[in-house]
Chain A
Amino acid sequence: AQKITQTQPGMFVQEKEAVTLDCTYDTSDPSYGLFWYKQPSSGEMIFLIYQGSYDQQNATEGRYSLNFQKARKSANLVISASQLGDSAMYFCAMREDTNAGKSTFGDGTTLTVKP
């Protein structure tokens, strides 16, 4: 079974609007971390936001927030006030703390921001 599932291969959003990118995960480890990375066309991976499995509050970083629903095993990324520079590939990843700190990545969602 896939550990990280991103069901939206591509998403479109109008500039200045909010968008939610979906991510569900599968683990039996009680201690884990969830990450979102942005990959522009240049190929570099840019860290956006982190949520620990024991964190009580949803993580936020500027225009990025992570909607963490532990019981549903989902960790959706919300981007508010989209900008043209947000057009990129977005990856959800999970680190299981009993698995030597290795991370597993989803297949990504391509976000296109329209002017």
Chain B
Amino acid sequence: DGGITQSPKYLFRKEGQNVTLSCEQNLNHDAMYWYRQDPGQGLRLIYYSQIVNDFQKGDIAEGYSVSREKKESFPLTVTSAQKNPTAFYLCASKGGQFYNEQFFGPGTRLTVL
């Protein structure tokens, strides 16, 4: 089955530690995105990548980093510089210019203790 996987579903970390969230897709999509969602709010774009080895900052990139070494993978690192990292993180991908919607993974809920 084609789709997007995110792991783990729940993640707990101590304050000051970096943590990497995984996102893998087998849809052969070029574009991938990372969003953050806080309780009762919409999605905010952290980073996006339109092709391999290229990515751009979104609206709230500070304290986060990404890489795109393979088409299928777009990991997100939440660094210790992110002041309030506890949130729900969603990864998405999108096909080429003739496709409209983004397909989302199941999300990772990160809690920093």
Interface residues of A (CB under 8 A from B): 4, 33, 35, 37, 42-47, 50, 52, 91, 93, 95, 100-108
Contacts and interface: CB of A to CB of B under 8 A. Distances in A.
Secondary structure at the B interface, as helix, strand, loop or mixed, is strand
Nearest to B107: A43
Contact of A33 (B40, B43, B100, B103): B100
Given A100-B50, A101-B94, A45 B45 contact: no
Secondary structure at the A interface, as helix, strand, loop or mixed, is strand
B65 interface: no
Contacts of A107: 40-42
B48 A100 contact: yes
Contacts, number: 55
22 contacts: A33-B100, A35-B100, A35-B101, A43-B88, A43-B106, A43-B109, A44-B107, A45-B43, A45-B104, A47-B102, A50-B100, A52-B100, A100-B48, A100-B56, A102-B33, A102-B48, A103-B102, A105-B35, A105-B42, A107-B41, A108-B40, A108-B41
A47 to B, nearest CB: 4
